[in-house]
Amino acid sequence: MAAEQRAAIGPAFLSLIMHAAFAAMLWFGFVNFRQREAPVQQLAIEAVVVDPSQFQIGAPVQPQPVEEPPPADEPEPQATPEETLPQESAAAKEQLLAAQREREERARIEREKVEAKQREEQRKRAEAEARERDRARREAELRARLADEEREDSGRRAALAQQWAQQIAARIQRAWIRPATAGAGIDCMVHVTQIPGGEVVSASVVSCNGDAAVRESIETAARRASPLPPPPEAQLFEREIEVRFRPHD
């Protein structure tokens, strides 16, 4: 009976030891895991140096004052925005003024160019107008001179033509045979057709204060007067001419 009980207790004890060992392993692993996760906090400790000679038996210990470290070099104070703002504003204002001066200078240069161009155009227009006035004046003077010359030439040619007509009338009068019915104060206009060289082709009385015999005698005289005297100038020659016939009484 005791042997059977020992045989049954052995495996149970072994199982209990194994469970205890397994529980210990779990606990050890859990502790190591917590130590790795949580860093160890280090506490700062102020140490005070104490001179042993200052201590007396039974006297209270007086702590020595701790010397403070010398202050570090303080950084130079930086300018606040309120202090830097006027400087930046002044620089910006100066830049604006410089830009404005540059714009004004460019505008002035452009304005001077435009004004110079306008002055040049005005000068050219004035010169062109002056040339036009001078040309018109010369043309007017030329026309006036030509008109004067033409009037003079017309007068001269009229005088020459009249002189030529008087020569033709004198030639006809020399060739005229006075009829018995011709009275005093014969005044007739004779139309004569001639060819270059003065040869008379035809002659007819246009108007006359004489009778038919007087008219016929004058036409016959005009044909007998051929060739007629040439004109003073060749350009005065005309094929159809009218001559006033007034014989001397």
pLDDT at 20: 73
28 falls in which pLDDT band (50, 70, 90)?
low
Which residue do the tokens 């000679």 mark? 53
Q: pLDDT tens, 48-78?
A: 444 545 444 444 445 455 555 555 555 555 5
Quick check: bond before 227 cis, omega within 30? yes
Q: pLDDT tens, 185-215?
A: 899 999 999 999 999 999 999 999 989 999 9
Are 242 and 202 in contact, with CB atoms under 8 Å apart? Answer: no
The residue among 189 and 9 whose pLDDT is bigger is: 189
pTM above 0.85, yes or no: no
Average per-residue pLDDT in the chain?
79
Query: What would the two tokens of residue 13 be?
Result: 């004890």
pLDDT at 154 over 70: yes
Residue 181 amino acid letter: T
Closest Cα to residue 196, out of 164, 227, 220? 227
SS3 209: coil
> What gap in Å lies between CA 166 and CA 158, rounded to an integer?
12
Q: What percent of the chain has pLDDT over 90?
A: 47
SS3 204: strand
Residue environment code for 174-213, b if the CB has 16+ CB neighbours within 10 A, otherwise e: eebeeeeebeeebebebbbebeeebebeebebeebebeee
> What gap in Å lies between CA 247 and CA 226, rounded to an integer?
18
Query: What would the two tokens of residue 81 be?
Result: 């925005």
Count CB-CB contacts under 10 A for residue 35. 10
pLDDT at 71: 54
Query: What would the two tokens of residue 111 be?
Result: 């304005």
Query: What would the two tokens of residue 70 be?
Result: 């010398």
